[in-house]
Amino acid sequence: MNETPKWGMVIDLDRCNGCTVCVTACSLENNVPYVGEGDAGYGRSMQWIRVERYWEGEYPNVVARFRPIMCQQCGAAPCEPVCPVFATAHSEAEQVNLQVYNRCIGTRFCANNCPYIARTFNWFDYSPGMPLPLNSQFNPDVTVRFRGVMEKCTFCIQRIRRVEEEAKAEGREMLDGDVQPACAQSCPSDAIVFGLLSDPNSQVSHLTRNARAQALLLEELGTQPRVIYLASERGSKR
Amino acid sequence: MTAKAIPLPQSQVEEEEDPRQHLLFDPRPREELNSMVLEAMHSTPISFWIAVIILTLLVIICLFGAWGYMAVVGMGTAGIRRPTFWGMFIANFVFWIGISHSGTFVSAILRVFKAEFRRPFTRAAELMTAFGLAAGAMYPLIHLGRVWVSYWIFPYPNNRWLWPNFHSPLVWDMVAITTYLLGSTMYLYLPLIPDLAMARDRSKGWRYSLYRIMSLGWRGTEEEWVRLRTAIRIFAFAIIPVMFSVHTIVSWDFAVTMAPGWHSTIFGPFFIAGAIYSGVAAVIMIMFLIRSTMLNMKYFMREEHFDALGKLVLVFSFTWTYFYFSEYMLGWYGGDAADKALWQAITHGPFAWLWYLMLICNILIPWLTLWNKKIRRTPWVMFIICLLINVGMYTERYLIVPSMIARNRFPFDWDSYLPRIELVISLGSLSLFMLLYLLASRLIPLIPVWEVQEGQFAHTLRKVGKTHVPSVSETE
């Protein structure tokens, strides 16, 4: 495996039942704040992953379609060139988009230019208002963000790093499936699979050769997303 | 310079009943003009001080107070939410930069083309540019999530070798607006020097000290005049491309993105047409306010100026309409699903009332009224029309900024936007503009007296088509 590792994700829309466990797991893993009832109702909830629900067909033949969407870790990311201070940057080592919280000045230009609406903004300082014992639930591997910065899904880069370091310490290669982002780990129906797209024998590479693996989200925009959706055939006419 | 009685050609006399309604054909002695302008500058009635106090309080509370509160508590005090990450602040930014456009446009373009009617109101227009920029250039800072680190956008040397991202339109904005602010301030200052010297020679006390420093030791020698004229000419030509570049770059904040409705190649000229449209209307409003609140100004700012600028407004109304419909009709014709949803939301969705308000104010009202010479020559009617035009142009910016990003490619994430603290801060920055203008009107001569005198005493009549226009040759 000499080329740069390219991480990717496959989401099987036939398996997703819209339970939103991935949303909860992601928020706990990445210290995503709970914004409170009022602001969440106003459209300011900050989850890095959302499950979109669309209805298809007319009553009584209605099918609910679910589509989990998070940052697609684009190869040609629209968010990157518009940031005036390089706070959104491309990681050469992991081939994901990074958000440098300390560098962000909060122009929110990246969020406007993201066609996937994947980015969220810290409207207030959420962590200081937390009742005290609850701060123990923060994940020490992830920065607690302050007001006025953007944030988004990182493919749980802290977990990628940890597995890499463990493998190095044990003097072995990383195995496929060693890295599990919170959403993939928690998904009860295994709809989300994560791994190296650059490794032809990994499970994700195997799934991308599936006949249903035709859908990159908004592929026509040329963003080269790293999340591959397996098209849903459940309930369709075929 | 000596006053010459210039006999008007017979045809002119028949056509225009009283030639003295034109400022250039109604000369007064130089000293009288000087003292008229100085008297207007020195008069500070009680109403002036009341206005200054109210505006100062508004600026302190609504602009700096509310802004500070927002910076300390968080951007959540504004009404923005996902996916409308940009709201009224950016609409205000575009609006004020647009307003600031026309001051220089009116002054520089008319100077370059030697339109002699420009003479009395160039300074009023240039001041509008400077203060409009002051109000507008604050908004990119106000809307930052972390304004205290905003200096990171500047390319300054630091020990980590971190540079700003020159691919980002926000960095282009920073460069363009800084250039424009410096250029237009110098362009405002150059024609001011002889007037400051005039004021220096006729005042004492702190005003004398102030004008003595600001007039840079101007004595009015032949050499000084030659140099001043050269410098003004260079700046008048050079500021025009800078002005066009600034608003094009502002439009690129939107046009280079992938958001449906923003992603459009026509945004550059479209924004410039809109900026000049709203700005010329604002010049008319300011002329009306100066005329009705300051002493002696009815002599300088006359019906003929409202008439001429009214024609300009009508022309730019046509231009703006053309760009507007070619932009939106193409999106509609293209049939892209996101564009279609946007078009639907604007024409008969939640934003339709804004759209119709904009069409009525920007197209219907000027097209119905400004044909009429009598309406163009009635200042208070022109004030109302121009106010409505600016309401319409603000609505257009509001439609472009927060309304268009409320519609994206995922209907699940559609949302709308309602301003909260933005309204207070907008009131504050409007007060800042008016306060700066009020103070400037009593600190510097608001009329370029030497230019008016030059126009009155040194013009000759040239035949252009069927009419005769006054023209000032470059001899002194």
pLDDT tier at A234, thresholds 50, 70, 90:
low
* Token pair recorded at residue A110: 């990246």
In chain B, which residues have their Cβ closer than 8 Å to the Cβ of A45?
A: 82
Q: Do the chains contact at A108 and B410, CB–CB below 8 Å?
A: no
CB atoms within 10 A of CB A164: 16
Strand, coil or helix: what is B302? coil
Sign of the four-CA dihedral B317, B320, B326, B332: negative
**Choice among A39-53, A54-68, B364-378 with the minimum mean pLDDT:** A54-68
Task: State the smallest CA–CA distance between residue A113 and chain B in angstroms.
Answer: 5
Topology of domain B10-472, CATH: Formate dehydrogenase/DMSO reductase fold (1.20.1630)
3-state helix, strand, coil in chain B (%, to 5): 75, 5, 25
When CB atoms are compared, the residue of A42, A148, A150 closest to B74 is A148
Can you tell me the distance from the alpha carbon of B226 to that of A127, in angstroms, rounded to the nearest whole number?
66
How would you write A180-238 as a 3-class SS string? CCHHHHHCCCCCEEEEECCCCCCHHHHHHCCCCCCEECCHHHCCCCCEEEECCCCCCCC
Task: State the smallest CA–CA distance between residue A95 and chain B in angstroms.
Answer: 20
**Choice among A74-78, A196-200, B12-16, B250-254 with the minimum mean pLDDT:** B12-16
Contact (CB, 8 A) for A104 and A149: yes
Q: Do the chains contact at A107 and B258, CB–CB below 8 Å?
A: no
* Token pair recorded at residue A230: 């397996």
The whole-number average pLDDT for the span A138-162 is 93
Can you tell me the distance from the alpha carbon of B318 to that of B366, in angstroms, rounded to the nearest whole number?
10
In chain B, which residues have their Cβ closer than 8 Å to the Cβ of A108?
A: 80, 85-86, 143, 145
Greatest Cα pair distance, chain B, in angstroms, is 76
Q: What pLDDT is stored for residue A144 in this prediction?
A: 92
Q: Would the pLDDT of A238 be above 50?
A: no
Closest-CA residue to A234 (of A8, A5, A16): A16
More confident residue, A211 or A75: A75
| pTM, to two decimals | 0.92
* Token pair recorded at residue A36: 């409170």
Sign of the four-CA dihedral A15, A20, A23, A26: negative
Task: State the smallest CA–CA distance between residue A107 and chain B in angstroms.
Answer: 5
When CB atoms are compared, the residue of A85, A112, A123 closest to B164 is A85
Q: Would the pLDDT of A171 be above 70?
A: yes
Q: What pLDDT is stored for residue A1 in this prediction?
A: 47
Q: Would the pLDDT of A11 be above 90?
A: yes
Task: State the smallest CA–CA distance between residue A218 and chain B in angstroms.
Answer: 9
Expressed in angstroms, the distance from the first to the final Cα of chain A is 40
* Token pair recorded at residue B380: 């208070």
H/E segment holding residue A52: strand A50-56
Name the percent of chain A lying above pLDDT 70: 97
Q: What pLDDT is stored for residue B1 in this prediction?
A: 43
Closest-CA residue to A50 (of A33, A64, A69, A65): A69
In chain A, which residues have their Cβ closer than 8 Å to the Cβ of B167?
A: 81-82
* Token pair recorded at residue B406: 């409320």
Greatest Cα pair distance, chain A, in angstroms, is 59
Q: Do the chains contact at B259 and A85, CB–CB below 8 Å?
A: no
Contact (CB, 8 A) for A184 and A76: no
More confident residue, A202 or B17: A202
Residue A57: C-alpha distances to residues A17, A228, B40, B151 (Å): 18, 25, 73, 53
In chain A, which residues have their Cβ closer than 8 Å to the Cβ of B249?
A: none
Strand partners, A50: A69
Task: State the smallest CA–CA distance between residue A191 and chain B in angstroms.
Answer: 21
Contact (CB, 8 A) for A148 and B146: yes
Strand, coil or helix: what is B69? helix
Q: What pLDDT is stored for residue B105 in this prediction?
A: 84
Task: State the smallest CA–CA distance between residue A114 and chain B in angstroms.
Answer: 8
* Token pair recorded at residue B194: 């002889």
Strand, coil or helix: what is A11? strand
* Mutate: best of A82, A127, A145, A219, partner B, most B CBs <10 A: A82
When CB atoms are compared, the residue of B163, B170, B405 closest to A107 is B170
Q: What pLDDT is stored for residue A2 in this prediction?
A: 54
Highest mean pLDDT among A160-174, A220-234, B99-113, B318-332: A160-174
Dump strand ranges (E) for B109-226: none
Query: In chain A, which residue's Cα lies nearest the Cα of B338?
Result: A115
- Range 250-309 of B in CB contact (< 8 A) with A: 253, 256-259
When CB atoms are compared, the residue of B82, B163, B165 closest to A44 is B82
Can you tell me the distance from the alpha carbon of B83 to that of B80, in angstroms, rounded to the nearest whole number?
8
Instruction: Give all domains of chain A, ordered by start, each with its CATH number.
Output: 7-230 (3.30.70.20)
- Range 139-168 of B in CB contact (< 8 A) with A: 140, 143-147, 149-150, 152-153, 162-165, 167-168
Q: Would the pLDDT of A214 be above 80?
A: no
Q: What pLDDT is stored for residue A179 in this prediction?
A: 92
Q: What pLDDT is stored for residue B328 in this prediction?
A: 78
Can you tell me the distance from the alpha carbon of B297 to that of B290, in angstroms, rounded to the nearest whole number?
7
- Residue ranges in chain B whose pLDDT is less than 50: 1-3, 12-14, 475-476
Q: Do the chains contact at B405 and A54, CB–CB below 8 Å?
A: no
In chain A, which residues have their Cβ closer than 8 Å to the Cβ of B176?
A: none
Residues 6+ apart with CB under 8 A from B376: B306, B307, B310, B311, B370, B382
More confident residue, A130 or A26: A26
Residues 6+ apart with CB under 8 A from B316: B273, B276, B277, B280
Task: Give me the total of CB pairs closer than 8 Å, taking one residue from chain A and one from chain B.
Answer: 128
Pairing of strands A7-12, A227-230: parallel
The whole-number average pLDDT for the span A57-85 is 91
Can you tell me the distance from the alpha carbon of B422 to that of B370, in angstroms, rounded to the nearest whole number?
34
Backbone dihedral angles phi then psi of residue B213, each to the nearest 5 degrees: -70, -45
* Token pair recorded at residue B161: 């070798």
Following DSSP, what letter does each residue of B376-415 receive, concatenated?
Answer: HT-HHHHHHHHHHHHHHHHHHHHIIIIIGGGS-S-GGG--
Pairing of strands A7-12, A215-216: unpaired
* Token pair recorded at residue B252: 């690129």
